[in-house]
Structure 1
Amino acid sequence: MVSPLVGKQLRATQLATARGNLWEGAVRSSKTVSSILVWLKYIRTGPPGALLMVGKTERTLKRNILDVIVEMVGVKRCKYKAGAGEVVIFGRTIYVAGANDERAADKIKGMTLAGAYLDEVTTFPESFFSMLGTRLSVAGAQWYGTTNPEGPNHWLKKKFLDRARLHLRRDGTVVESTDPKALDLHRFSFSLDDNPYLPAQYVANLKLEYQGLFYKRFVLGEWCLAEGVVYDMFDDSRHVVDVLPEIRHWMCVGLDYGTINPFSALLIGIGTDERLYVASEYRHDSRAERRQLTDAQYSLAVREWLGAYRHRGQQGVTPQWIFVDPSAASFMTQLWSDGVQGVAKANNDVKDGIRSVGVAFGANLLSVHRSCAGLLAELPAYAWDPKAAEAGEDKPLKIDDHSVDALRYGLHSTVHDWRHLVRANLEVAA
């Protein structure tokens, strides 16, 4: 059941009358529900013709949008045809597509569209978004979209949002552009506090969970640069421990493969206190040690490291997963041939992975044992690339990032195993 729209939620739906209408800002700020309600009305009352719904992938579109629509209108009125690239809403067939790389523009070439709904617009290639504009050629066609903020130099902000004809700002005021070259675009900016239906404790926890860059973007709804230290929430006095509690589950090893560059593997577990711990590190730097190892030697070294690890009187651990740098195909083959269980490609989504690690540190859910010297040396110096930020991208500098990459591989690949612990840990701390 959808709660009645109030305040900026309602105002945005009333102002969504332009050719393009975009809800942008903080997480859980009611962007999605407000935009969906307008889209559902458009499906029933908009001009005849083909409609399109787009997400970063079809899977994320289903999870973020289609599943929400099903909750609103029921399965009889929203039927997703998995594999067919279609969804039927209120009896109207709508094409669905993913737009996660430059090839996505080819998916809509030749289409003539009467309307479109776009989820996570900042994740689309600019070429796809530009192509979409040429496809919305039916008289009266409109598009509706949502996104979280990125850097101020992102193509969506510089080329589109900054040229919007109307802007419902975060402070609730409405500003109309006097520029004759303004785009037929209405922009609605939201912060976390714009959703009055969120429980106060939930909001407080989110504000603690997100820190630094992610606090500015996902709580305040600001378009801000990724600059300075990536993990600025990391604090040696809070996040480094000399003694580990009993570990109830050896969750994974995150492993960054290197031949000339350092090879790093981190053992990560969940303690009986329901917190995450980086318990041990294996690291080999070929240049520093003047000895380059083969895949077989690295495999043996990792197995010996895990076999020799001692914890509370017990020797040897078997993690559930070993998540390996996806580019290290030959090393994964070596591990499989040596009978190592649970070997899998790590999730290498850099920005989302950094967010997962940041959330774990920000919620004080993650601690690192002091023996993990390589990781502890890299964490305070791991920084955003200023040149990439100027170009509208969020990328960390590729300098001294081997153990921090291993940490990201391990935590982001298991995020669904530990994410529920974040809120529980924050509630206990509160």
Structure 2
Amino acid sequence: MTDTMIPLSPKQLQSLKEATARINVWEGSVRSGKTIASLVAWLIYVATNKTRGELIVVSRTRDSAARNVFAPLMDPSLFGEISQYISYTSGSAYATVLGRRVWVLGSSDVRSENVLRGLTCAGAYVDEITLLKEDFFTQLLNRLWEGARLFGTTNPDSPAHWFKVNYLDRCEPYMEATNARVLPDWRVWKFYLDDNPQLTEARKDAIRRENTGLFFRRNVNGEWVAAEGAIFDFWDPEKHTIAWDDLPEMRELLALSLDYGTTNPTAALLLGVSAEVDHLGRPAPRLFFVDEWRWDSKLEQAKLTDAELAVKLVAWLNERHLPDNTTMKLTPRFKIIDPSAASFKVQLRKNHDITSTDADNDVLYGIRLMASLISAGALVIARPTPTNPERGCPGFISEAPGYVWDPKATLVGEDKPMKVADHSLDGGRYGVTTTENVWRSYIKIAA
């Protein structure tokens, strides 16, 4: 498109040449160059298309669209002079791409599906297709006007995932020779780490370290494999925890995040961003779960009302959660609560003037994100010490080794954890996922 763009690999150039089908999909490893190739194809389409209707970009949320789609498009180091003709503000309903209005939809937002139902679509770009609900994707296909095209990316998922079974398995080169129900108007290209000419060997090695077990096979090897066994199969308390007394200075406490329970435990964790620097004095922050509060009515032999639970939580929240070697008594910027805990949120607001945010409860996405952070050493969990046995996150640490995939869900193509002893893990997941747009400005991982 312009000689100021980054150079493209032979695989990327081949996909651009062939991306003339109704549906065009780039799949494979993370950071393999598939997103850049798909975005170039999308820009060419936006610049040349005359089909009737609206242009749309779809991602899991509008924030993820800003991060995964528009951040690369607006980066002059990637798209050269073209980047100045693309603008988007995270959370906005639409972007401007090469002078054209492009609607931006978050597939997890029910309002987006309502918008989609009334839309005549001239062209669509879809980020991470497997994170969409099947009925949303089906509706999107139905909204494509004659002559319209869809450009999409995805990482591998379960081999029984609806997208693999209903679509990819009916495309070259995935379909069986005897499969007569082919999709002739689809084109699919599979990418691996070595197909990205911008990745150094050091960066490839980092990506391999940041993905383990299931996520290594999918995100690095590009395999469509089923989830089975331990979720955090890499878990090592020696590597992934730190004594509470040894916590580094925190630049801020990013969030209090809480999983609400009545008969089950209620668990709240504090997520901090460290003020660490590297050997050259450059900022090198990490995320830390610095402290945890739990109320288990069975262990305590006392079932609390929402009002009583709120009083105990607020009393704990007002304690000091960082060791004496830190200089500030910090308070969390966000209070993130389990979306199902409506009555508890009312109590916090009415009686304690605490306004909370509903947690992002995309379970699989949150698990993948938290696993990548922990395995990369970018998220560390504080453990109690003999001098401070009431501090740290013993619930999270005790639950992590037994966190396993549900084999019944795997059989139907879903990745779900067993709902056993996961309350601190859920609370932690809420904090990491809901604040992702904030900590991503400090911390870079492959997820």
Q: Scaled by the length of structure 1, what TM-score is found?
A: 0.83
**Deviation digits for residues 286-331 of structure 1, max 9, x if unmatched?**
1233211122322232233344557338999543243322322332
**What is the alpha-carbon distance in structure 2 between the residues aligned to residue 100 and residue 6 of structure 1?**
33
Equivalent position of 1:54 in the other structure: 57
Give 3-state SS (helix, strand or coil) of 2:261's partner.
Answer: coil
**What is the alpha-carbon distance in structure 1 between the residues aligned to residue 21 and residue 318 of structure 2?**
63
**What is the alpha-carbon distance in structure 2 between the residues aligned to residue 364 and residue 80 of structure 1?**
32
Equivalent position of 2:215 in the other structure: 214
Alignment partner for residue 37 of structure 1, among 35, 40, 57?
40
Equivalent position of 1:107 in the other structure: 115
Percentage identity across paired residues of the two chains? 38
Displacement of 1:235 after TM fit? 0.8
Alignment partner for residue 382 of structure 2, among 353, 368, 386?
368
CA distance 1:276–1:62, change in 2 (3 Å) = closer
Equivalent position of 2:14 in the other structure: 11
Equivalent position of 2:403 in the other structure: 382
Alignment partner for residue 331 of structure 1, among 316, 323, 344?
344
Alignment partner for residue 21 of structure 1, among 16, 24, 31?
24
**What is the alpha-carbon distance in structure 1 between the residues aligned to residue 326 and residue 349 of structure 2?**
26
**Deviation digits for residues 161-200 of structure 1, max 9, x if unmatched?**
0110346xxxxxxx99674431122111112232021233
Displacement of 1:90 after TM fit? 4.3
Check conservation: 1:192, 1:218, Cα contact below 8 A. no
Give 3-state SS (helix, strand or coil) of 1:165's partner.
Answer: coil
1:358 matched to 2:375: no
Structure 2 gaps, min length 5: 277-284
Q: Matches of residues 20-419 of structure 1 in structure 2 within 5 Å?
A: 20-46=23-49, 48-56=51-59, 57-71=61-75, 72=79, 74=82, 77-78=85-86, 89-91=97-99, 94-100=102-108, 106-109=114-117, 112-138=120-146, 140-166=147-173, 179-184=179-184, 185-249=186-250, 251=253, 252-271=255-274, 273=276, 274-309=285-320, 311-312=323-324, 317-321=329-333, 322-339=335-352, 343-365=356-378, 366-370=380-384, 371=389, 372-419=393-440
Give 3-state SS (helix, strand or coil) of 1:43's partner.
Answer: helix
Equivalent position of 1:2 in the other structure: 5
Structure 1 gaps, min length 5: 168-174
Two-structure CA RMSD over aligned residues (Å): 3.5
Displacement of 1:261 after TM fit? 1.0
Displacement of 1:270 after TM fit? 4.4
CA distance 1:8–1:318, change in 2 (3 Å) = same
CA distance 1:339–1:64, change in 2 (3 Å) = same
Q: Which letter does structure 1 place at the counterpart of 2:31?
A: R
**What is the alpha-carbon distance in structure 1 between the residues aligned to residue 432 and residue 188 of structure 2?**
35
Check conservation: 2:244, 2:382, Cα contact below 8 A. no
Q: Which letter does structure 2 place at the counterpart of 1:183?
A: L
Q: Which letter does structure 2 place at the counterpart of 1:401?
A: D
**What is the alpha-carbon distance in structure 2 between the residues aligned to residue 342 and residue 103 of structure 1?**
24
In the alignment of these two chains, the number of paired residues is 417
Check conservation: 1:102, 1:127, Cα contact below 8 A. no
**What is the alpha-carbon distance in structure 1 between the residues aligned to residue 301 and residue 309 of structure 2?**
15
**What is the alpha-carbon distance in structure 1 between the residues aligned to residue 204 and residue 160 of structure 2?**
29
Check conservation: 2:381, 2:397, Cα contact below 8 A. no
Give 3-state SS (helix, strand or coil) of 1:244's partner.
Answer: helix
Q: Which 10-residue stretch deviates more, 59-68 or 200-209?
A: 59-68
**What is the alpha-carbon distance in structure 2 between the residues aligned to residue 105 and residue 272 of structure 1?**
41
